[in-house]
Amino acid sequence: MGLKRNLQAQSAIREQCRELVYTDAQCKEIMQKLLNNLNRGLGSQTHSSAIVKCFVTYVQDLPNGTEKGKFLALDLGGTNFRVLLIELSESHFEMRSKIFAIPQHIMLGSGEQLFDHIADCMAKFMKEEKVMDETLPLGFTFSFPLTQLGLTKGRLERWTKGFNCSGVVGNDVVKLLEDAIIRRGDIKIDITAVLNDTTGTLMSCAWKNHNCKIGLIVGTGSNACYVEKQENCELFDDVNNGSGEVLVNTEWGAFGDDGALDFVRSEYDRIVDKYSINPGKQLHEKMISGMYMGELVRLVLERFTKEGLLFGGKGSELLFTRGRFYTKYVSEIESDPPGTYANCKEILEELHIKHATEQDFVNVRYVCECISKRAAHLVSCGIATLLNKMNEPHVTVGIDGSVYRYHPHFHNLMMEKISELVKPNITFDLMLSEDGSGRGAALVAAVACRKRR
Ligand SMILES: Nc1ncnc2c1ncn2[C@@H]1O[C@H](COP(=O)(O)OP(=O)(O)OP(=O)(O)O)[C@@H](O)[C@H]1O
């Protein structure tokens, strides 16, 4: 074993990365602006022009653990599409699921193709599970911004996260799915709820932990939902039917689309946005989530290499190719124990950089840390804003998404930062959603069925 040295990133690199490290004052300003945006989303007079929409979900009752029955769930919203069969019984559940790919040509094709594909996958799964002849209730997790007109009616406002299917924006996605099912004619399904993955995550965690009142996703995209008092949701029209609370899907990924975050956006953020399929949109999400994090790191590394600060000024074609530095690399590089660089070396070799020195490894790791820490801090500003707004003594945040799940330090970075930013009378904890939002979708469907009866 060689002597382990704890080298520091070179000062020129640290200096240039300073813009990626936010001061306390910047964090406070982000929080103030987000709160303002949330209030605009909730207000009846300001909602239509608001950037952070705060859609009311029509989910009002959290699970109480007595939900029972057999349910289907569909989960569409990012990298994978899943179909699930869930059986709930008292404080116990069984879940079987299958993951299907959504080919790129379908992600960018017509809405009819997309919903036919979904219905096709569902029929295949139901056949395999031998439930073709049953009419099961279904919870449809559709993780894009929806204006909900009821629990089973959601109009798509816009596509995000790499999807852009024609003929869907402005339409009710439940109806589009029902139409596709009718076109096939071989399966019957009772769609009892459409929801966002943040809602699914919150419900899934709340089933186990009754303090769970915020759902957070840091996966392909980033978004959060929380339990709001009905009186603060000026657009909620089901007033006679209420528990006094409503889940609000913030769609905070759009925060900054009016320039509110320009004071903390960097050149790298502007490049990521420029080459995305939705320029000018989802600017907050683009600074945080898995779809963009690797590319942000790559852009920093590309610039530093071209300036001669890395790899003796000699990069590689792969390092200079858009999308070639995966977000999972960030997790892997930061998983190297301090003073060791095995993952970093392997990843650089994968990118055809075989001439990196130990100082380069340290510098590359430092860049990864700056980008992932900034993401964790932005998410923390958001969660602290919600906690302060809710002003409850103790709240559990249910979290899902591969960035939170697999990044080795994301949880600790968030714990530390939120503690700094939250009011002193509030305590919180962060809970990983073990079972994805599938169970949450079944729970929303179950609560809906119970209320229907
Ligand atoms: N080990 C990892 N560390 C960090 N990020 C990762 C890792 N593996 C995959 N990712 C990133 O996570 C994203 C996928 O997240 P996830 O698996 O939570 O998908 P999803 O549920 O489809 O997304 P969403 O919930 O936002 O709709 C991808 O952008 C990918 O780059």
pLDDT, one tens digit for every residue, the chain (453 residues): 444 556 888 999 999 999 999 999 999 999 999 999 999 999 999 999 999 999 999 888 888 778 888 999 999 987 779 999 999 887 778 899 999 989 999 999 999 999 999 999 999 999 999 999 999 999 999 999 999 988 999 999 999 998 999 999 999 999 999 999 999 999 999 999 999 999 999 999 998 899 999 999 999 999 999 999 999 998 887 766 668 899 999 999 999 999 999 999 999 999 999 999 999 999 999 999 999 999 999 999 999 999 999 999 999 999 999 999 999 999 999 999 999 999 999 999 999 999 999 999 999 999 999 999 999 999 999 999 999 999 999 999 999 999 999 999 999 999 999 999 999 999 999 999 987 777 888 888 888 887 776
Return d(Cα 190, Cα 180) in angstroms, integer. 13
Inter-residue contact 214 to 383 (CB < 8 Å):
yes
Return d(Cα 37, Cα 52) in angstroms, integer. 6
Pocket-forming residues, ligand 1, beta carbon under 6 Å: 77-80, 143, 197, 217, 219-221, 290-291, 326-328, 331, 401-403, 406-407
Report the sign of the C-alpha dihedral through residues 181, 183, 184, 187, in that order. Answer: positive
Q: Which helix (H) or strand (E) holds 58?
A: none
For residue 223, give the ligand 1 atom closest to its CA: 26
Inter-residue contact 336 to 413 (CB < 8 Å):
no
Angle at which helix 327-335 crosses helix 342-350, to 10 degrees, equals 150
- If one residue of 74, 75, 76, 79 were mutated to test the ligand 1 pocket, choosing by the most ligand atoms within 8 A of its CB, it would be 79
- If one residue of 402, 404, 406, 409 were mutated to test the ligand 1 pocket, choosing by the most ligand atoms within 8 A of its CB, it would be 402
Inter-residue contact 194 to 154 (CB < 8 Å):
yes
Report the sign of the C-alpha dihedral through residues 229, 42, 217, 425, in that order. Answer: negative
Report the sign of the C-alpha dihedral through residues 123, 126, 127, 131, in that order. Answer: negative
Residue 437 backbone phi and psi in degrees, to 5 = -90, 0
> Ligand 1: distance of its center to the CA of 103 in Å?
17
For residue 197, give the ligand 1 atom closest to its CA: 25
- If one residue of 83, 327, 343 were mutated to test the ligand 1 pocket, choosing by the most ligand atoms within 8 A of its CB, it would be 327
Residue 238 backbone phi and psi in degrees, to 5 = -95, 50
For residue 80, give the ligand 1 atom closest to its CA: 22
Return d(Cα 451, Cα 404) in angstroms, integer. 34
> Ligand 1: distance of its center to the CA of 95 in Å?
21
> Ligand 1: distance of its center to the CA of 218 in Å?
8
The residue whose CA is least distant from atom 14 of ligand 1 is 220
For residue 221, give the ligand 1 atom closest to its CA: 26
For residue 143, give the ligand 1 atom closest to its CA: 27
Return d(Cα 235, Cα 240) in angstroms, integer. 14
Catalytic residues: 161, 197
Question: How high is the pLDDT of residue 362?
Answer: 97
Residues in the chain, overall count: 453
Report the sign of the C-alpha dihedral through residues 262, 266, 267, 268, in that order. Answer: negative
Return d(Cα 181, Cα 166) in angstroms, integer. 19
CA dist list (Å): 365 to 25, 132, 409: 26, 51, 13
Here the tokens at position 263 are 């004071």
> Ligand 1: distance of its center to the CA of 367 in Å?
20
CA dist list (Å): 319 to 68, 276, 288, 347: 52, 18, 21, 11
| Amino acid making up residue 352 | H
Burial class (CB in 10 A: 0-12, 13-18, 19+), 409: middle
Q: Which residues neighbour 275 within 8 Å (Cβ) at sequence distance 6 or greater?
A: 322
| Amino acid making up residue 373 | K
Question: How high is the pLDDT of residue 2?
Answer: 45
Inter-residue contact 383 to 224 (CB < 8 Å):
yes
Residue with tokens 């899907």: 249
> Ligand 1: distance of its center to the CA of 365 in Å?
20
Identify each DSSP E strand in 25-178 by its residue range.
55-56, 69-76, 81-89, 92-100, 136-142, 146-150, 153-156
> Ligand 1: distance of its center to the CA of 436 in Å?
12
Question: How high is the pLDDT of residue 160?
Answer: 92
Nearest to 179 by CA among 100, 122, 112: 112
The residue whose CA is least distant from atom 20 of ligand 1 is 78
- Look at residue 412 and give its three-state secondary structure: helix
Return d(Cα 409, Cα 399) in angstroms, integer. 15
The residue whose CA is least distant from atom 7 of ligand 1 is 328
For residue 78, give the ligand 1 atom closest to its CA: 22
Q: Does ipTM exceed 0.90? A: yes
Inter-residue contact 83 to 121 (CB < 8 Å):
yes
The residue whose CA is least distant from atom 8 of ligand 1 is 328
- If one residue of 80, 297, 403 were mutated to test the ligand 1 pocket, choosing by the most ligand atoms within 8 A of its CB, it would be 403
- Look at residue 308 and give its three-state secondary structure: coil
